[in-house]
Amino acid sequence: MNDATTLAPASATWITPACPLCGSRDSTPIATHRNTLFGAEVVSTRARCACGMVLTSPRPADDELGKYYESADTYYTHAVEAGARARIKRRLRAAQLRPPGSWARLAFERATGRPRYASRWAPEMFTLPRGARFLDFGCGGGQNLEVAATLGLDSIGVEPDSKAREAAAARGVRAVADLAQLPDNWRADRALLSHVLEHLTDPVGALREIAAATNPGARWLVRVPNADSWQAQTCGERWIGYDMPRHLWHFSRATLIKTLELAGLEVLDVRTVELPEFLRASLAEAQRAGEARDITPIDPRTLERQGRGAELLAVARTPAPAPR
């Protein structure tokens, strides 16, 4: 691996961002990260604003960010599963997101601590009624859109990556490049942002734009890495949830709530979900870097009760217009 000096960012193309919560450009460095995830070798600094927001500062300028998604290792997974096995898998997943299947799956996950598929969808609050309009902002290759379509939702994704949109089209689902390309008079009843908010240069502004494409009372499901998680504290710079400099913001429960509220959303619930796959990926990254890590996983149910799961999950609502 190259030394830190050769990996350091060039000041001409890196900027000091304004905090999305308070607008300040003053922050205190917390840690320096040597990131090699997805082939982008770079040193980044994680800093804390006085308001509590943790951010990547400095970070690549807006017109430079794109190159950190281009590498020999594909950032997104665009592989499209096909055939009878894939169709059965998709239908089983869909069945676990609507009662009575969701009740059974949630009970199973809470009793066993096994993979948290239904828990990540909060189906008791983020219901998916047939015929509802479903917007997946930052849909990637369309995996979630495919499940939504199986559930009978009128689903559309927004995804700026052209390769990801091609993968979505191969799955038979709709994805457009930006919100302006949504059909006229189409307003979402459900909005999903899964590990998207941390990538957006203006998360509050983006949420406001998305809100304008939703109906009053629309439910939102927002997932981001939990910077206060046990995994983040244990794995340090090798934690996949940091993924700097692509991740511009590192949310805690408090800063996620503040971000959603500044965008005008009504926050209904915030919880954490433990993701063992994040830990496995983080340990693999440490191994590639020549760092031996002997970490004993903690039961997901314990971490979730403590609010230290690897993923923050927020359920929110588009408020109804104030009466005149």
How confident is the model at residue 37, as a pLDDT?
A: 61
Task: Round to whole Å and give the CA distance between 116 and 122.
Answer: 10
Task: Round to whole Å and give the CA distance between 193 and 48.
Answer: 24
> What is the tens place of the pLDDT at every residue in 225-270?
999 999 999 999 899 999 999 999 999 999 999 999 999 999 999 9
How confident is the model at residue 229, as a pLDDT?
A: 98
Q: Which helix (H) or strand (E) holds 266?
A: strand 266-273
Region of poorest pLDDT, from 62-66, 141-145, 201-205: 62-66
Task: Round to whole Å and give the CA distance between 97 and 93.
Answer: 7
> What is the tens place of the pLDDT at every residue in 120-176?
999 999 999 999 999 999 999 999 999 999 999 999 999 999 989 999 999 999 999
How confident is the model at residue 8, as a pLDDT?
A: 47
Instruction: State the distance between the two ends of the chain, measured CA to CA, in whole angstroms.
Output: 63
Task: Round to whole Å and give the CA distance between 105 and 136.
Answer: 23
How confident is the model at residue 321, as a pLDDT?
A: 79
How confident is the model at residue 46, as a pLDDT?
A: 96
User: Is 13:55 a contact under the CB 8 Å cutoff?
Assistant: no
- What is each CA distance from 10 to 13, 48, 188, in whole angstroms? 6, 21, 41
Q: What is the DSSP string of 208-221?
A: HHHHTTEEEEEEEE
Q: Residues of the chain with pLDDT > 90: what percent?
A: 73
Amino acid (1-letter code) at residue 97: L
- Read off the pLDDT band of 30 (50, 70, 90): very high
- Read off the pLDDT band of 85 (50, 70, 90): confident
Q: Tell me, rounded to whole angstroms, the distance of Cα 311 from its chain centroid.
A: 8
Task: Round to whole Å and give the CA distance between 209 and 124.
Answer: 26
Task: Round to whole Å and give the CA distance between 80 and 68.
Answer: 24
User: Is 324:224 a contact under the CB 8 Å cutoff?
Assistant: no
Amino acid (1-letter code) at residue 29: P
Average pLDDT value for residue range 62-66: 87
Task: Round to whole Å and give the CA distance between 57 and 102.
Answer: 41
Angle ∠(93,132,263) on CA atoms, nearest 5: 100
Q: Which residues contact 42 (CB under 8 A, 6 or more apart)?
A: 7, 9, 34, 35, 68, 244, 245
User: Is 26:18 a contact under the CB 8 Å cutoff?
Assistant: no
Asked whether residue 293 carries a pLDDT value surpassing 50, the answer given is yes
How confident is the model at residue 150, as a pLDDT?
A: 94
Task: Round to whole Å and give the CA distance between 161 and 140.
Answer: 8
Task: Round to whole Å and give the CA distance between 67 and 56.
Answer: 17
How confident is the model at residue 42, as a pLDDT?
A: 81
- Read off the pLDDT band of 180 (50, 70, 90): very high
How confident is the model at residue 6, as a pLDDT?
A: 39
Amino acid (1-letter code) at residue 163: K
3-state secondary structure of 51: coil
Average per-residue pLDDT for the chain:
90
- Read off the pLDDT band of 70 (50, 70, 90): confident
Amino acid (1-letter code) at residue 264: G
- Report the predicted TM-score, pTM, of the whole model to 2 decimal places: 0.92
How confident is the model at residue 83, as a pLDDT?
A: 67
